[in-house]
Every structure is written in C-alpha cells, then in structure tokens.
C-alpha cells in the first residue's frame, strides 16, 4: 500500500511542496514565500486583467 502525496510547486520560488496537512504554508514551501506572495499582491506587483473579465453589455451590442 502506497499513499500518493500530492506535490505542488511553490508559487513564489518553484520549490516542490508536499501537500500535507501539517504543511500549513502550502502551496508555499515556507512562511517566507507565503509572505512574499502576499506582499506582492499588496504592492500590486501583479497586474489584474480586470478589463478582460468584464462581460459585454447587451445594450451596447443592440445599439
């Protein structure tokens, strides 16, 4: 009997992380990487493609 442990990549550094309940920082490999990622969001280092998600209005199409 072998139990498969899911492995994910840390979004911050790409390190392989075992998806275990005791790994409270998953999908990050460490608290540091988690904080880095959260900090990046807070600093708006990521660009949100918000405009692409806006649905086309029917009113505009029916002009």
Helix H segments across the chain?
31-42, 50-53, 58-61
Q: Residue 9 CB, nearest distance to Zn ion (Å)?
A: 9
Pick left, alpha or beta for residue 15 (phi over 0 → left; psi -120 to 50 → alpha; otherwise beta). beta
**Closest CB to Zn ion among residues 16, 62:** 16
Stretch that binds Zn ion, among 8-16, 18-26, 43-51, 53-61 (CB under 5 A): 8-16
Residue among 7, 9, 15, 31 that touches Zn ion (CB under 5 A): 15
The DSSP letter of residue 63 is: -
Binding residues: 10, 13, 29, 33
């Amino acid at each position: 009997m072998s139990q498969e442990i899911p492995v994910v990549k840390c979004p911050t550094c790409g390190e392989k992380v075992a998806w275990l309940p005791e790994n409270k920082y998953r999908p990050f490999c460490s608290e540091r990487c988690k904080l880095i990622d959260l900090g990046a969001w807070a600093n708006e280092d990521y660009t949100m493609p918000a405009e692409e998600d806006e649905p086309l209005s029917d009113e505009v199409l029916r002009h």
